[in-house]
Amino acid sequence: MFGYWDALYFIYVLLIGLIISYLVFKWAERSSMGTRRTGNGTKIFLSGEDEDNVVPQFEHLKGYFTGRHTMWGLIRGINRMFIAFRREHTGLLSDYVAYLFITVAIILGVLIIWG
């Protein structure tokens, strides 16, 4: 079984997956409260941002949203970790290689002791 690949099985699984996803899509459309496809109320609503407003310094992206808006909760939740990473980010390749060696040494030490 492992190491054997048959194109027909791949096509069967792909077709079954497409059929299941289509059925889930149709079920979600029927069970939802409804979505307007045209007219008022069809604007994008993402993280409370209005697509008609221009984001400062992103005037060329009118109607688009930056990662700053969509990832706000994640960044706010782990802000201290981001500050620590930003402090350690020097941009020097030798620092990153040293971090890699330290990580590998710790993993090898754990494997030798408990492995």
Q: What value does the mean pLDDT take over residues 9-22?
A: 95
- CA 90 – CA 27 distance, rounded (Å): 51
Contact (CB, 8 A) for 46 and 70: yes
59-to-31, 33, 55, 67, 71 alpha-carbon distances in Å: 38, 34, 6, 15, 20
Q: How far apart are CA 14 and CA 77, in angstroms?
A: 38
Question: What does the pLDDT look like over 32-74, one tens digit per residue?
Answer: 766 666 666 566 555 555 556 655 666 555 555 555 666 777 7
